[in-house]
Amino acid sequence: MNAILSILDTLDYGPAPEDCNVARTWLKKHEAGFGHFIDGRFTAPGETFEVMNPATGETIAKVTQGTAADVDAAVTAARAAQPGWAALSGHERARFLYALARHVQQHSRFLAVLETIDNGKPIRESRDIDVPLVVRHFYHHAGWAEILADEFPGARPHGVCGQVVPWNFPLLMLAWKVAPALAAGNTVVLKPAEYTPLTALAFAEITREIGLPGGVLNIVTGDGRTGADVVGHEGIDKVAFTGSTEVGRIIRRRTAGSGKALTLELGGKSPFIVFADADLDAAVEGVVDSIWLNQGQVCCAGSRILVAEAVAHRFEELLRRRLAKLITGDPLQKSTDVGAIVHPVQLERIRGLVARGAAEGAVLHQGASPQGCFFPPTLVTNVHPASVLCAEEIFGPVVTLTPFRTPEDAVTLANNTRYGLAASVWSENLSLATDVAAKVKAGVVWVNCANIFDAGAGFGGFRESGFGREGGREGMAAYLAMPGPVAKKPEGSPPAPDPTPSSSMAGAALDRTAKLYVGGKQVRPDGGYSYPIEGPGGPVGLAGLGNRKDIRNAVEAAHKATGWGAQTGHNRAQVLYYLAENLAARTAEFEDRLKSFGQTAAAARVELATAIRRIFWYAAQADKYDGAVHQTKSAHVTLAMNEPIGVVGIACPTAFPLLGFVSLVLPAIAMGNRVVAIPSQTHPLSATDLYQVIDTSDVPGGVVNIVTGERETLVKTLAEHDDVDAVWYFGTRAGARTVEEASAGNLKQTWTEDGTARDWGSAQGQGKLFLAKACQVKNIWIPYGE
């Protein structure tokens, strides 16, 4: 029978292969193996490993395993190139970035095909999604380079950036890292993933084509050991990593105390919430775009569907029908929806997790998939929050479906995860969708859409999904440093508190007892010990010696004060103004306290006046430091909302007993955070005096909690606490390292500085930097059109 006639019977799609000759020819040219790209030149191949096409299993290239010496050479080249690159005008750097955008566009199909051969993703995606986003990212950041001096006055580049990118979007993640780094005037040492290094090497050739100065971008290939060498290298000033939470934790520990800036974009288990009034068909397509994009190997994939019980049956039915239509197979075929899993190791991982889930009783609904490194698109029902498939990031085309009852139930289920990268919310009722978007703990929320990206909007997570943003103004800021104050003489450890009775004590006529302040109540320290506070002529009073349990209680109290962050900025401002008013009314008492620590009358007067002014300043900012509406795609509102981080632990510097405390606690609570503060260890009584003022100023209980005692042990407990969202530490170098190391447990954000670096009495003690540290940006995407 004539072929056409038989096709007319079935109306199958038939083969439509993408021509891959150009990429093959390029690979052939490099048959001998790739070296690294250092200082504008490719090195001779060293000890190589094989790179394979996961769809076929064939070896397509040999790539060099980077050694410590290779990394060292790359860092040296980047270091040498950095001053010259940073000395160029923004306009000159913009021209290079513009040229990169142009040339990536001109080589777009070559890069798309190469990406597909290397990674296994369908050509439709590499062609229509990955490469266009790469181009967009370079254009956008060419713009940032051009206007950098105007938009970020006073900012300077970090220096040399060490960047480690994953295998799921190899070229796109390179673009996300390289574009802002170069725009800012940094130079780069980048390590691509060992499964997928080829587009990075092709990109290196493109940088040569446009004449990017040697050393500005260096690429060292290799496995995790090479990556560890990059992030651990002492010549690196800023580390940026995208990958697993597990490796992110290792990097956090490894860089602790090094002074390196760090951004981490890690895993996720993002909720996909479907309300009863959603366009269910639209939501079904959203699932396709979410978990069946890139074989589900997407950090922000909506891998947990939560669906209103009222429509759960119909939704599941529609989703199963849609699942049956997906074509899984050869990624070079233009009609393929789901391609190959990146590597057999990952395939085994996915299989293992799914088998565990099935053993627990999960029901699998799967499409068809060919033999080889493929996994069928899978819908999993009969699962609960405790199921392994609901808790673990699978990083495969596997999505769970769980019904919920009410919006509150949906939010609770959505937030029942250690991650907080993204969320997708489906409802035609925008009041409901916006409410849920505000309540979900995620860095990106897509309303009635999923996996929409644009260079103009920030991307990045809350919680164990990491910190820092890529894209948008906040992403650009992550590659810039504001010249920070430098300590002339590093802060030394304060003397250990001695909880035994002192030989004498100067004091008021009537004894005053300084307690801890937890949950709006004055409480005695759990341990029942106090320690003397020294004045110039001996002890001037006792302070409670707080311990682990006091920190635990304070964190619990802070968590209960949930209403504070939801209040309007105006309401918080009123409370803070009132706080300033009440403090001003007790000027003499507070000045006396400062004098009792040995300050001169003049110094005490200035510290108090500055503290009052500073409280006013943050009250003023409470309703003004707000977000932005980004220019992204047409017919989309993209809101960048500044949200409080949550519960922030603050360890205050030793000096400036009142002002140090006020300067750190006020920006945090002005932005809606709740605080557990450890005041100056040597002179905490100004802070404990303040709790009476806090009490009378309508600050809700639990918003500010004060635990006095030994700073280093208390802050370690805070930094280790899994329910604390950020820790600010102003103290010793060793203490900073401890905090950063301990923060790796839940990957909380940290801000550490030498306690003596900042002159708290000057302008250094306040500003937008403090507000920025007190917020995290949530980007909410709302497409519109009827």
Partner 1 sequence: MVSNHRNPGTPLRPEMFEGHPANRSAAERRTSSLAARRTVKKEWQAAWLINAIRCMDLTTLAGDDTAARVARLCAKARQPLAPHVVEGLGIEALRLTTGAVCVYPTMVTHAVKALAGAGVPVASVATGFPAGLMPLRLRLEEIRYAVDQGADEIDIVITREHVLTGGWTALYDEVRAMREACGTAHLKAILATGDLQTLRNAYCASMVAMQAGADFIKTSTGKEGANATLPVSLIMVRALRDYLDETGYRVGFKPAGGMRTAKDALNWQFLMKEELGRDWLEPRLFRLGASSMLADIERQLEHFVTGRYAASSRHAIA
12 lines the binding site for partner 1 (CB under 8 A): yes
What does the buried/exposed string (b/e) look like for 688-700 if buried means 16 or more CB atoms within 10 Å of the residue's CB? Answer: bbbbebbbebebb
Taking the C-alpha atoms of residue 621 and residue 641, their distance in angstroms, rounded to an integer, is 15
Q: Which is nearer to partner 1, 453 or 531 (CB)?
A: 453
Q: Where does this chain touch partner 1 (CB under 8 A) — which range of 7-15, 31-39, 73-81, 112-120? A: 7-15
Q: Which of residues 417-436 bind partner 1 (CB under 8 A)?
A: 428
Using CB under 8 A as the binding rule, whether residue 115 contacts partner 1 is answered as: no
Q: How far is the CB of 40 from partner 1 (least distance, A)?
A: 37
Which of 316, 337 has the CB closer to partner 1? 337
Of 285 and 534, the one with the shorter C-beta distance to partner 1 is: 285
Supply the minimum distance, in Å, between the C-beta of residue 407 and partner 1: 17
The DSSP annotation for 516-527 comes to EEETTEEE--TT
Stretch that binds partner 1, among 9-17, 59-67, 235-243, 706-714 (CB under 8 A): 9-17
Distance CA 464, CA 739 (A): 16
Instruction: CB nearer to partner 1: give 282 or 486.
Output: 282
Give the whole-angstrom CA distance, residue 229 versus residue 225.
6
Does residue 109 touch partner 1 according to CB under 8 A?
no
| Amino acid in position 549 | K
Rounded to a whole number of angstroms, the minimum distance from the CB of residue 198 to partner 1 is 24
Tell me: does residue 635 bind partner 1 (CB under 8 A). Answer: yes
- Token pair 């954000």 is at which residue? 749
Q: What is the 3-state secondary structure (H, E, C) of 39-72?
A: CCEECCCCCEEEEECCCCCCEEEEEECCCHHHHH
Catalytic residue, candidates 20, 161, 299, 373 = 299
Closest to 671 measured CA to CA, from 776, 578, 518: 776
Cβ-based neighbours of 765, under 8 Å, separated by 6 or more: 610, 614, 659, 663, 758, 759
Of 289 and 474, CB closest to partner 1 = 289
Comparison of 27 and 457: residue with beta carbon closer to partner 1: 457
Place of tokens 């609570």: 669
- Please identify, among the stretches 13-21, 173-181, 354-362, 515-523, the one whose residues bind partner 1 according to the rule CB under 8 A: 13-21
CB of 12 to partner 1, least distance (A): 7
Contact call for residue 513 and partner 1 (CB under 8 A): no
Measure the CA–CA gap between 729 and 751, rounded to whole angstroms. 6
Instruction: Please tell me whether residue 368 binds partner 1 under the rule CB under 8 A.
Output: no
Q: Given candidates 54, 162, 166, 286, which one binds partner 1 under the rule CB under 8 A?
A: 286
For the CA atoms of 593, 599, 603, 604, the dihedral, rounded to the nearest 10 degrees, stands at: 0
> What's the closest the beta carbon of residue 376 comes to partner 1, in angstroms?
18
CB contact set of 528 (below 8 Å; sequence gap of 6+) = none
User: Could you tell me which of 685, 678, 708, 684 has the C-alpha nearest to residue 544?
Assistant: 708
Q: Which of 8, 44, 386, 763 binds partner 1 (CB under 8 A)?
A: 8
In the range 245-284, which residues lie near partner 1 by CB under 8 A? 277-282
Looking up tokens 């956090």 gives 252
Environment class of 231 (CB within 10 Å of its CB; exposed 0-12, middle 13-18, buried 19+): buried
Q: CB of residue 374 vs partner 1: minimum separation in angstroms?
A: 18
Distance of CA 180 to CAs 187, 315, 480, Å? 10, 41, 9
**180 or 456: CB nearest partner 1:** 456
132 touches partner 1 by CB under 8 A: no
Rounded Cα distance between 272 and 306, Å, is 6
21 binds partner 1 (CB under 8 A): no
CB-based contact 97:145 (threshold 8 Å): yes
- Return the H-helix or E-strand segment holding 274: strand 270-274
Query: Which position among 115, 125, 146, 265 bears the catalytic label?
Result: 265
Q: What residues numbered 764-783 form the site for partner 1, per CB under 8 A?
A: 783
Q: Which residue, 205 or 285, is less far from partner 1 as judged by CB? A: 285
Euclidean distance between CA atoms 696 and 578, whole angstroms: 9
The distance in angstroms from the start CA to the end CA of the chain is 49
Find the shortest distance in angstroms from Cβ 438 to partner 1: 21
Region near partner 1 per CB under 8 A, out of 3-11, 473-481, 554-562, 687-695: 3-11
Three-class SS of residue 479?
coil
Q: Taking a C-beta distance cutoff of 8 angstroms, is the pair 303, 399 a contact?
A: yes
- Does position 11 interact with partner 1 (CB under 8 A)? The reply is yes
Is residue 19 within the footprint of partner 1 (CB under 8 A)? no
Q: Is 265 a catalytic residue?
A: yes
Interface segment toward partner 1; rule CB under 8 A; list 10-18, 84-92, 233-241, 409-417: 10-18
Interaction between residue 510 and partner 1 (CB under 8 A): no
> DSSP state, 501?
P
User: What are 455's two structure tokens?
Assistant: 């260079």
Indicate the residue among 283 and 573 with the shorter CB distance to partner 1.
283
Tell me the closest approach of the beta carbon of residue 250 to partner 1, in angstroms: 38
518: left (phi over 0), alpha (psi -120 to 50) or beta: beta
For partner 1, what does the binding mask look like between residues 310 and 349, x meaning CB under 8 A? ---------------x--------xx-x------------
* Cβ distance to partner 1 smaller for residue 12 or 31: 12
By CB under 8 A, residue 128 contacts partner 1: yes
Interface pattern 437-456 for partner 1 (x via CB under 8 A): -----------xx-------
Q: What angle do CA 469, 471, 477 make, to 5 degrees?
A: 65
Which of 16/355 has CB closer to partner 1? 16
Q: Which residues make beta-bridge pairs with 783?
A: 636
- Residue 346, token pair as written in the block: 């990952």
Q: How far is the CB of 452 from partner 1 (least distance, A)?
A: 9
Q: Least distance in Å: CB of 752 to partner 1? A: 44
# residues near partner 1 by CB under 8 A: 37
| Pick from 744, 563, 541, 507: nearest CA to 657 | 541
Judged by CB under 8 A, which of 223, 285, 409, 695 binds partner 1? 285
As a dihedral over the C-alpha atoms of residue 324, residue 329, residue 332, residue 337, rounded to 10 degrees, the angle is 20
Residue 5 C-beta: closest distance to partner 1, Å: 6
CB-nearer residue toward partner 1: 13 or 538: 13
Contact present, 466 and 419 (Cβ < 8 Å): no
List active site positions: 265, 299
Contact positions vs partner 1 (CB under 8 A)? 2-5, 7-8, 10-16, 124, 128, 277-282, 285-286, 289, 325, 334-335, 337, 428, 448-449, 635-636, 783-786
